[in-house]
């Protein structure tokens, strides 16, 4: 029987407490709420109000199979300042459908595979300065690789002055969007030029000015000389009625692809590398798979390695980097037996879905082998969300994980990690390790990584 879902009365104190707990340890917060209140359960978020959350496969089925016009994205989305109001992530209805169609085209299989060698090359370049026996910060290396790859794919950026300026501007914008701005909407206002919001808007405006210059450059270009980066394709792309994207739309979509495409992949790579180094059996199985292909396996080889693929999937299962997939109902909708009205918000907690029993055996254990013997459906394993809003860059992100991780482990040896897993905290738009992860490069064969 379907009960009518009664959302709790909005309370700003409760919302701040929930947001702080969610940011502190995302996985622990959802697990504790589910254990205490059952499934589904209500949480409250600042600026969003009550949200009905579930981690059950039925919830995934209901959310992803519902007609697309059942939902819109949540209002007051905390990532809007980073992405802009024209971002596909924030659009709804027909406009969302049309924009997704235009933006999805550059991510088709053949085009994406063309980026494979660049992904491997940028990984080797990031590793080259790390000498045997020296320690390095895993996040920093993976962030450099992920940012380089996305700037190359979206903007065609090279290692020249233009590329360096853009890289600097985007990194500053991302660093300035500190977690406090993400979870406390009241902080998103100017404080006479000296507050965190002022620092963020200054960095954001600088990167937007560079993006506008890139768009102007492409609009002025002879079509025969146009590059094949994603922005060049979007500048020329036409809706079904023949119209083009405006400059404002292009700026917001370019920053959406850059932000959504690199923070996610970087965090996923950090988790995957960390668990591989912390689990001797995983490291041994991956080394055995990579060994026959030498220290510089090609993109085509890496695309086919099954254990490497299993490591990527297990990492996205155990710590899904986007831990919550939210929607706002604009029509009546039944969610886990509760009748929701238009205006009520729901979310799927993938941290819970990916540990739901009996679908997942030994759900809290790192075990890539499970992906070698079993197939998991889209309502059980959903690291890229699902339905009409499923991640546009899913194939690109999954492919990049293989390329970078394979190149990273084929090119050098590393000391195993003995420390327990760090806390999972919400920083930026993803759930990553709360503390930095230091890795020591071992006494590797003297491979020239350049
Ligand atoms: C491991 C890497 C990645 C993960 C785990 C990830 C995860 C996600 C998730 C969970 C969503 C929300 C889906 C939903 O609401 O159902 C999403 C949306 C999105 N992602 Fe990704 N993503 C990754 C990489 C990328 C890349 C590489 C790009 C582009 C270059 C990208 C672009 C987007 C966009 C544009 C959306 C919004 C789609 C829409 O609202 O229609 N993502 N992603």
Which atom of ligand 1 lies nearest, measured to the CA of 389? 41
Question: What's the pLDDT tens digit per position in 164-185?
Answer: 899 999 989 988 988 788 778 8
- Angle of CA points 257, 258, 263, to nearest 5°: 110
Give helix 247-278 / helix 306-318 axis angle, nearest 10°. Answer: 100
Distance CA 401, CA 423 (A): 22
Residues sharing a CB contact under 8 Å with residue 360, sequence separation 6 or more, in sequence order: 317, 354, 370, 380
Distance CA 324, CA 43 (A): 12
pLDDT for position 181: 87
Confidence of residue 159 (pLDDT cuts 50, 70, 90): confident
Q: How far is the CA of 433 from the centre of ligand 1 (A)?
A: 19
pLDDT for position 53: 97
Confidence of residue 1 (pLDDT cuts 50, 70, 90): low
Q: Is the CB of 111 under 6 A from ligand 1?
A: no
Q: 277 pLDDT exceeds 90?
A: yes
Share of the chain above pLDDT 90, in %: 74
Q: Is the CB of 257 under 6 A from ligand 1?
A: yes
Question: What's the pLDDT tens digit per position in 103-158?
Answer: 988 887 777 778 899 999 999 999 999 999 999 999 999 999 999 999 999 998 87
pLDDT for position 449: 43
Give helix 116-127 / helix 394-411 axis angle, nearest 10°. Answer: 40
Which pairs from 361-370 meet CB under 8 Å and 24+ separation?
366/275, 366/278, 366/279, 366/282, 366/314, 366/318, 367/314, 368/282, 368/285, 368/307, 368/310, 368/311, 368/313, 368/314, 369/310, 370/310, 370/314
Q: Is the CB of 142 under 6 A from ligand 1?
A: no
Q: Is the CB of 140 under 6 A from ligand 1?
A: no
Strand, helix or coil at 36? helix
Measured in residues, the chain has a length of 450
Distance CA 387, CA 65 (A): 6
Q: How far is the CA of 396 from the centre of ligand 1 (A)?
A: 10
Q: 252 pLDDT exceeds 90?
A: yes
Q: Residue whose CA is closest, atom 21 of ligand 1?
A: 391
Q: How far is the CA of 272 from the centre of ligand 1 (A)?
A: 18
Average pLDDT over residues 236-253: 92
Least confident residue range of 61-70, 212-221, 280-289, 385-394: 212-221
Average pLDDT over residues 284-311: 97
Q: How far is the CA of 259 from the centre of ligand 1 (A)?
A: 10
Confidence of residue 10 (pLDDT cuts 50, 70, 90): low
Q: How far is the CA of 53 from the centre of ligand 1 (A)?
A: 20
Q: How far is the CA of 229 from the centre of ligand 1 (A)?
A: 19
Backbone angles phi, psi at 447, to 5 degrees: -95, 135
Q: Is the CB of 266 under 6 A from ligand 1?
A: no
Give helix 116-127 / helix 138-155 axis angle, nearest 10°. Answer: 140
Q: 450 pLDDT exceeds 60?
A: no
Q: How far is the CA of 191 from the centre of ligand 1 (A)?
A: 33
Q: Is the CB of 325 under 6 A from ligand 1?
A: yes
| Residue predicted with more confidence, 237 or 6 | 237
Q: Residue whose CA is closest, atom 7 of ligand 1?
A: 384
Give helix 138-155 / helix 161-176 axis angle, nearest 10°. Answer: 120
Confidence of residue 428 (pLDDT cuts 50, 70, 90): low
Pocket test for ligand 1, best of 72, 264, 349, 396 (most atoms within 8 A of CB): 264
- In the CATH hierarchy, which top-level class contains the domain 3-440? mainly alpha
Q: Is the CB of 344 under 6 A from ligand 1?
A: no
Question: What's the pLDDT tens digit per position in 211-231?
Answer: 999 999 999 887 777 778 899
Q: How far is the CA of 260 from the centre of ligand 1 (A)?
A: 6
Question: What's the pLDDT tens digit per position in 261-270?
Answer: 988 999 999 9
| Residue predicted with more confidence, 103 or 371 | 371
Q: Where are the domains of the chain?
A: 3-440
Q: The whole model's pTM is what?
A: 0.93
Confidence of residue 2 (pLDDT cuts 50, 70, 90): low
Q: Is the CB of 383 under 6 A from ligand 1?
A: yes
Which atom of ligand 1 lies nearest, measured to the CA of 321? 5
Could you tell me which of 386, 387, 397, 401 has the C-alpha nearest to residue 350?
386
Distance CA 202, CA 224 (A): 36
Q: How far is the CA of 391 from the centre of ligand 1 (A)?
A: 3
- The mean of the pLDDT values for the chain is 91
Confidence of residue 77 (pLDDT cuts 50, 70, 90): confident
Residues sharing a CB contact under 8 Å with residue 231, sequence separation 6 or more, in sequence order: 154, 155, 156, 214, 215, 218, 250, 254
Q: How far is the CA of 138 from the centre of ligand 1 (A)?
A: 23
């Amino acid at each position: 029987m379907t009960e009518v879902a009664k959302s709790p009365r909005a309370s700003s104190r409760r919302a701040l407490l929930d947001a702080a707990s969610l940011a502190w340890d995302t996985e622990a917060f959802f697990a504790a709420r589910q254990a205490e209140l059952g499934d589904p359960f209500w949480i409250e978020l600042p600026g969003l109000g009550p949200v009905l959350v579930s981690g059950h496969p039925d919830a995934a089925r209901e959310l992803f199979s519902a007609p697309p016009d059942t939902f819109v994205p949540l209002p007051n989305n905390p990532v809007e300042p980073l992405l802009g109001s024209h971002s596909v992530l924030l659009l709804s209805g027909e406009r969302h459908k049309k924009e997704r169609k235009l933006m999805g085209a550059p991510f088709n299989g053949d085009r994406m595979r063309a980026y494979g060698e660049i992904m491997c090359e940028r990984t080797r370049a990031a590793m080259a300065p790390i000498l045997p026996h020296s320690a390095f910060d895993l996040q920093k290396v993976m962030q450099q690789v992920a940012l380089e790859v996305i700037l190359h794919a979206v903007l065609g950026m090279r290692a020249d002055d233009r590329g360096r300026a853009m890289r600097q501007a985007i990194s500053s914008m991302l660093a300035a969007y500190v977690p406090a701005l993400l979870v406390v909407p009241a902080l998103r206002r100017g404080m006479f030029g000296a507050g965190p919001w002022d620092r963020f808007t200054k960095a954001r405006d600088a990167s937007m000015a560079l993006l506008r210059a890139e768009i102007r450059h492409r609009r002025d270009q002879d079509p025969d000389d146009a590059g094949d980066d994603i922005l060049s394709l979007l500048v020329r792309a036409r809706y079904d009625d023949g119209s083009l994207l405006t400059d404002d739309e292009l700026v917001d979509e370019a920053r959406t692809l850059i932000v959504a495409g690199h923070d996610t992949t970087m965090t996923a790579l950090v988790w995957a590398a960390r668990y591989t180094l912390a689990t001797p059996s995983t490291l041994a199985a991956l080394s055995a798979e990579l060994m026959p292909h030498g220290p510089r396996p090609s993109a085509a080889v890496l695309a086919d390695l099954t254990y490497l693929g299993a490591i990527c999937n297990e990492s996205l299962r155990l710590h899904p980097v986007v831990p919550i997939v939210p929607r706002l109902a604009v029509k009546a909708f039944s969610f886990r037996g509760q009748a929701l009205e238009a205006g009520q918000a729901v979310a799927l907690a993938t941290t819970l879905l990916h540990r739901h029993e009996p679908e997942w055996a030994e759900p809290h254990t790192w075990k890539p082998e499970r992906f070698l013997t079993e197939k998991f459906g889209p309502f059980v394993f959903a690291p890229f969300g699902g339905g009409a809003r499923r991640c546009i860059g899913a194939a690109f992100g999954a492919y990049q994980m293989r390329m970078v991780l394979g190149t990273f482990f084929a090119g050098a040896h590393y000391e195993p990690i003995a420390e327990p897993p760090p806390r999972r905290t919400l920083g930026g738009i993803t759930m990553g390790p709360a503390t930095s992860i230091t890795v020591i490069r071992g006494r590797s064969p003297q491979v020239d990584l350049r």
